[in-house]
Structure 1
């Protein structure tokens, strides 16, 4: 399983697994192509967007587990 954590930068996470894009978009994180995504971690972006990072990470982990 790919290793994506709350400390992973959004740009890196998308490169590791582009399939998480719909999850991020569905959570309201429309900054996928934004320059901030290069340096911003999933946790930082979740905070900026008023999201619960743990809930978002659970969704990402569930998706990644489904790939195995």
Structure 2
């Protein structure tokens, strides 16, 4: 099973499963195709957008557990 960490990029996660986009969208990360999605870590994106990164990573891992 995949283990999502906050040092991964959004695109790393989406390459593993495009359906994970719904989790990012739930947290207000709508620009999944922007350059930041390929360069910034999940932690960096969370800081920029004021998101609880630990909760986002937890939800992403739950998503992959249910696959």
TM-score norm. by structure 1 comes to 0.90
- Runs of 4+ off more than 2 Å: none
Segments of 5+ residues of structure 1 without an aligned counterpart are none
What is the RMSD computed on CA atoms of the aligned residues? 0.9
The answer to whether structure 1 residue 21 and structure 2 residue 21 are counterparts is yes
Between Structure 1 and Structure 2, how many residues are aligned?
67
The equivalences for 1:1-68 within 5 A come to 1-67=1-67
Q: Give a deviation string over 1:1-32, Cα, whole Å, max 9, x none.
A: 12321110111111112121001011100120
Q: Which runs of 5+ in 2 are unaligned?
A: none
